[in-house]
Structure 1
Amino acid sequence: MDSDHGNESTAILRPQFWSRFTLSELNHSEWEAVCDGCGSCCLIKYIDDENVSDDNNHEAEMVEYTDVTCQLMDCATGYCQHYATRQEHVPDCIQLTIENLPHMMWLPSHCAYKRLYKGQGLPSWHLLLTGDAVATQQQMRAANVGVAGRCVSETGMSDEEMETRVVNWVKP
């Protein structure tokens, strides 16, 4: 993860912005700060597009996550190695926006973007609530959230091998 991910030096985060404003009203720094850095969205996943509803919402039962992650992921830390320039390195990297969020309900159930979109609060361990990165990381591990230490890179892996690596520790 680049040092500026969710932590920009010019960040202007309004107090309690996540509970006072809609996602569409957030500035760039606030939008980035909503991310908990779990890395689950960077895992290779299989989405059953044949059974997607008319509104294209990719519901949870149509998604299988693997423990295989994008080539940019540092599997030890669980952070993108080139977050700010990730789309230059991986052109098909999906950039989560307020516009495409409604079509990404395959995101994990703990995802702060998904939770706020659905009118739920942030998870209790979220950095915006704890204010303590170490406590947040410990609580995320205790809640079985995040890819750090339990993912493998897609680099050099065949499609056939990826298909054998479906996991159940990510809950859409």
Structure 2
Amino acid sequence: MSGSPDNAVPFWQRKSLEEMTRGEWESLCDGCGLCCLNKLEDWDTGEVVFTSVACRLLDGHSCQCSDYENRWDTVPECIQLDVEGVQNIPWLPPTCAYRLIYEGRDLYWWHYLVSGDRETVHQAGISARDRTVSEAGMPLEEYENYVVDWPVKAGQE
């Protein structure tokens, strides 16, 4: 009998997002930090653009939340991504693992679940590492001075 056991196929290739355990779901986050960038929406057109203004809790170098477990105490509007969000949030970056899996695609070579190294997302230039400014103390009116397109172009180079 040929073939390999099911567990030889990575979970993200054999499970839908709905079937994943909490641990599997959390492990899909590649640590790019792009979802923690503030976005601006044009109320007339609905167009959403990224800024390089990061959530006050984002560590701009590690691209990790500095208080993940308690983030809602500081940032009540922080979005807990779930399956419905993956289906309905238009601004998820094109490289987002949740988006890729939902669309039936595979993870990129630089995702740590593939590469085995959490640094490859940064080495590949996909992350927000060292490209952000904090929202702390910044007036909302200034965000438009920080509009960037690199989050939506990530992985296209």
Runs of 4+ in 1 over 3 A off after TM superposition: 48-52
Deviations 1:95-142 (CA, angstroms, capped at 9, x unpaired): 100122111131110000011111111111111111223xxx2x3234
Match 1:119 to one of 87, 104, 110: 104
Does the aligned pair in 1 maintain the 2:53–2:132 contact within 8 Å?
yes
Matches within 5 A, 1:1-172: 16-52=10-46, 62-133=47-118, 137=119, 139-171=120-152
Counterpart residue type for residue 45 of structure 1: K
Name 1:7's counterpart in structure 2.
none
- Looking at structure 1, the residues matched to 43 and 125 of structure 2 have their Cα atoms a distance apart, in angstroms, of 28
Change beyond 3 A, Cα 1:49–1:120: farther
Counterpart residue type for residue 51 of structure 2: T
- Looking at structure 2, the residues matched to 164 and 38 of structure 1 have their Cα atoms a distance apart, in angstroms, of 22
Indicate the percent of aligned positions where both proteins have the same amino acid.
42
SS in structure 2 at match of 1:102: helix
Q: TM-score, normalised by structure 2?
A: 0.85
Does the aligned pair in 2 maintain the 1:105–1:114 contact within 8 Å?
no
Deviations 1:4-32 (CA, angstroms, capped at 9, x unpaired): xxxxxxxxxx6611001100000100000
Name 2:4's counterpart in structure 1.
none
Deviations 1:44-75 (CA, angstroms, capped at 9, x unpaired): 001335445xxxxxxxxx22100001111111
- Looking at structure 2, the residues matched to 64 and 149 of structure 1 have their Cα atoms a distance apart, in angstroms, of 19
SS in structure 2 at match of 1:116: helix
Q: Number of matched residues?
A: 146
Gaps of 5+ in 1: 1-13, 53-61
SS in structure 2 at match of 1:100: helix
Q: Which structure's CA Rg is the greater one? A: 2
What RMSD over aligned residues (CA atoms) do the two structures have, in Å?
1.7
Does the aligned pair in 2 maintain the 1:144–1:169 contact within 8 Å?
no
- Looking at structure 2, the residues matched to 123 and 44 of structure 1 have their Cα atoms a distance apart, in angstroms, of 24
Does the aligned pair in 1 maintain the 2:52–2:147 contact within 8 Å?
yes
